[in-house]
C-alpha cells in the first residue's frame, strides 16, 4: 500500500499526467452526461407518444364504425425502451428508431421507412462512454505508460532506480498499477454516477465496468510489451500510435468493408419501395386473384371472404397483406444478412479485441444491431397479432365500435405481441 501511495504522490506531481487524466475524466463525464440526456430524450419521446395515444384513441372512437376504418386509422404505438446501460453505450440507438407507430396495413414499408430517417446523426458518430473507453482511454494509457522504462533511461535514472532492492515490485508494478488505476477511476467514476442515476442493476453495472477494465488491461498489456521492447520513448510512442490506429480504426474499418462486401444485404429503402409499389398495384390487380392468394394464407376466413364489386376493407387489407408476402423473402434476406454481418463482426472481435469489446459493450447495453433486429421482430410479432385481430372482425363481419377498439392488442416492449 505504501508503494501505491508513493506512486500516487509521484503521479500527482506530474502536471502532464494529471492533465491527461483530467481530460479523460472530462471526456468520460461528458459522454455519460450526453448518454443520460440521449436516454432521457428517448424516454420522453416514448412517454409523449403513449400520452398522445389516449387522446388519439378517444378521437378514433368518435368516428370508427367498422373494423376496417379502425384498422386503417388506428395507429398503435411500439417502442424500444432504452436499457439501464444504454446511457453508457448508445450503439445504434441514435440512428435506429426507438418508437414506431404501426397500423394493420402492410408492415415492411412502415418498418423500413424509418430506417434512414436521420442519417445526418450518423456522420459525427456517437460520443458515449464506450467510445471514450475504446478510443480515448488507450491514448491516455499510451501517454502515461509508453515511456515507463525508456523515460527513466533517457533521463538517466533507470539504472539508479533498478539498482534499488525489489524495484520490480516496489517501483514498476506500483507505477503501472497507479497509472492504470488513474485511468480506470477517470472512466469508472463517471460511469458509476451515471449508473446510479440510470438505476442500473448492480450486476449489470459491474459487468459493464468489467468490460471497461478489460479494455484498459488489454491496452496496458500492449503498451507494456512495446515499452519493454522499445528503447526510445519517441519510438515507443510512434509505434503505439500506429498500433492504436491499426487496431481501433484501420483494421475494424477494413473488416467492416470486407464483411459488407462478403455479405450482401438488400437495401432496406428499396425493400420498402418494393412493398409500397406492390401494395399500390393491388388496386389494379384482379380482385378475385387477390382474395384467392390471401385465402391461401388464411383459409379459415374463406366463409366470410365474399366481397361486393365496390371497395371493401377485406379486399383492401388482403392486398396490403400480400404486399408483405411479396417482399417476405427479401425482408428475411435483409434480416439474415444483417444478423450474419453482426455475427461475423463478433467473430472478428476475437481477432480485434478492442472492436470485440466495443461490440460487447453495445450488446450488454442492448443497443447493438442484434437488439435493433430484436425490436423489429417484436414489432412484427405485434403487428401479426394486430392485423389478425382485425381480420377476425372483418371476415366474420362482427360489429366493431368503441368497445372493440378498446380491446385492440397492445404492444408489450418485452415480447412484442
C-alpha span between 207 and 242 (Å, rounded): 30
Q: Which is nearer to another protein, 84 or 152 (CB)?
A: 152
Q: Which is nearer to another protein, 161 or 295 (CB)?
A: 161
Q: Which is nearer to another protein, 38 or 150 (CB)?
A: 150
Q: Taking CB under 8 A as the rule, which mask of x and - marks residues 160-199 in contact with another protein? A: xxxxxxxx--xx----------------------------
- Helix (H) or strand (E) run with residue 100 in it: strand 99-102
Which SS3 state, helix, strand or coil, does residue 35 take?
helix
With binding defined as CB under 8 A, does residue 156 bind another protein? yes
Which SS3 state, helix, strand or coil, does residue 1 take?
coil
Q: How far is the CB of 262 from another protein (least distance, A)?
A: 49
Q: Which is nearer to another protein, 168 or 407 (CB)?
A: 168
Q: How far is the CB of 2 from another protein (least distance, A)?
A: 7
- Residue 70 C-beta-side C-alpha neighbours within 13 Å: 28
With binding defined as CB under 8 A, does residue 407 bind another protein? no
With binding defined as CB under 8 A, does residue 144 bind another protein? no
Q: How far is the CB of 156 from another protein (least distance, A)?
A: 3
Q: Crossing angle, helix 313-326 and helix 287-297, to 10 degrees?
A: 70
Pairing of β 76-79 and β 99-102? antiparallel
Q: Which stretch binds another protein (CB under 8 A): 60-68, 153-161, 180-188, 346-354?
A: 153-161
Site size with another protein, rule: CB under 8 A: 22
Q: How far is the CB of 232 from another protein (least distance, A)?
A: 16
With binding defined as CB under 8 A, does residue 4 bind another protein? no
Q: Which of 413, 409, 404, 415 is nearest to 61 (CA)?
A: 404
With binding defined as CB under 8 A, does residue 9 bind another protein? yes
Q: Taking CB under 8 A as the rule, which mask of x and - marks residues 13-42 in contact with another protein? A: xxx---------------------------
Q: Which is nearer to another protein, 156 or 199 (CB)?
A: 156
With binding defined as CB under 8 A, does residue 2 bind another protein? yes
Question: What is the DSSP code string of 104-168?
Answer: SS-SHHHHHTTTTS-GGGGTT---SHHHIIIIIHHHHHHHHHTTTTHHHHHHT-HHHHHTSTTHI
C-alpha span between 186 and 24 (Å, rounded): 6
- Are the beta carbons of 326 and 275 closer than 8 angstroms? yes
Instruction: Tell me which residues touch another protein (CB under 8 A).
Output: 2-3, 6, 9-10, 13-15, 155-157, 159-167, 170-171
Amino acid at each position: 500500500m505504501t508503494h501505491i501511495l508513493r506512486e500516487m504522490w509521484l503521479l500527482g506531481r506530474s502536471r502532464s499526467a494529471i492533465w491527461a487524466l483530467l481530460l479523460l475524466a472530462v471526456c468520460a463525464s461528458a459522454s455519460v452526461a450526453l448518454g443520460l440526456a440521449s436516454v432521457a430524450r428517448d424516454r420522453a419521446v416514448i412517454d409523449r407518444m403513449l400520452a398522445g395515444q389516449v387522446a388519439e384513441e378517444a378521437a378514433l372512437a368518435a368516428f370508427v364504425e367498422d373494423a376496417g376504418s379502425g384498422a386503417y386509422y388506428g395507429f398503435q404505438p411500439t417502442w424500444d425502451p432504452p436499457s439501464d446501460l444504454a446511457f453508457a453505450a448508445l450503439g445504434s440507438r441514435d440512428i435506429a428508431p426507438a418508437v414506431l407507430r404501426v397500423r394493420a396495413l402492410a408492415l415492411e414499408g412502415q418498418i423500413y421507412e424509418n430506417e434512414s430517417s436521420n442519417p445526418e446523426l450518423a456522420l459525427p458518430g456517437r460520443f458515449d462512454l464506450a467510445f471514450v473507453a475504446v478510443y480515448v482511454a488507450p491514448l491516455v494509457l499510451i501517454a502515461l505508460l509508453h515511456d515507463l522504462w525508456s523515460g527513466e533511461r533517457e533521463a538517466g535514472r533507470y539504472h539508479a532506480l533498478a539498482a534499488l532492492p525489489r524495484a520490480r515490485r516496489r517501483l514498476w508494478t506500483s507505477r503501472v498499477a497507479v497509472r492504470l488505476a488513474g485511468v480506470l477511476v477517470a472512466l469508472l467514476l463517471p460511469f458509476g454516477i451515471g449508473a446510479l442515476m440510470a438505476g442500473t442493476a448492480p450486476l449489470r453495472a459491474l459487468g459493464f465496468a468489467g468490460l471497461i477494465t478489460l479494455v484498459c488491461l488489454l491496452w496496458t498489456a500492449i503498451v507494456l510489451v512495446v515499452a519493454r521492447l522499445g528503447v526510445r520513448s519517441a519510438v515507443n510512442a510512434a509505434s503505439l500510435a500506429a498500433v492504436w490506429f491499426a487496431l481501433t480504426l484501420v483494421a475494424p474499418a477494413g473488416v467492416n468493408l470486407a464483411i459488407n462486401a462478403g455479405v450482401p444485404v438488400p437495401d432496406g429503402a428499396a425493400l420498402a419501395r418494393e412493398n409500397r409499389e406492390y401494395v399500390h398495384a393491388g388496386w389494379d390487380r384482379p380482385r378475385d386473384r387477390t382474395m384467392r392468394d390471401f385465402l391461401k394464407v388464411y383459409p379459415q376466413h374463406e366463409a366470410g371472404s365474399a366481397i361486393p364489386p365496390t371497395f371493401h376493407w377485406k379486399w383492401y387489407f388482403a392486398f396490403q397483406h400480400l404486399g408483405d408476402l411479396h417482399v417476405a423473402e427479401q425482408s428475411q434476406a435483409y434480416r439474415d444478412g444483417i444478423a450474419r454481418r453482426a455475427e461475423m463482426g463478433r467473430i472478428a472481435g476475437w481477432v480485434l479485441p478492442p472492436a470485440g469489446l466495443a461490440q460487447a459493450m453495445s450488446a450488454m447495453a442492448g443497443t447493438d444491431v442484434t437488439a435493433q433486429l430484436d425490436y423489429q421482430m417484436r414489432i412484427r410479432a405485434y403487428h401479426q397479432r394486430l392485423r389478425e385481430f382485425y381480420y377476425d372482425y372483418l371476415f366474420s363481419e362482427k360489429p366493431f365500435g368503441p368497445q372493440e377498439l378498446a380491446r385492440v392488442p397492445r404492444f408489450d416492449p418485452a415480447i412484442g405481441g
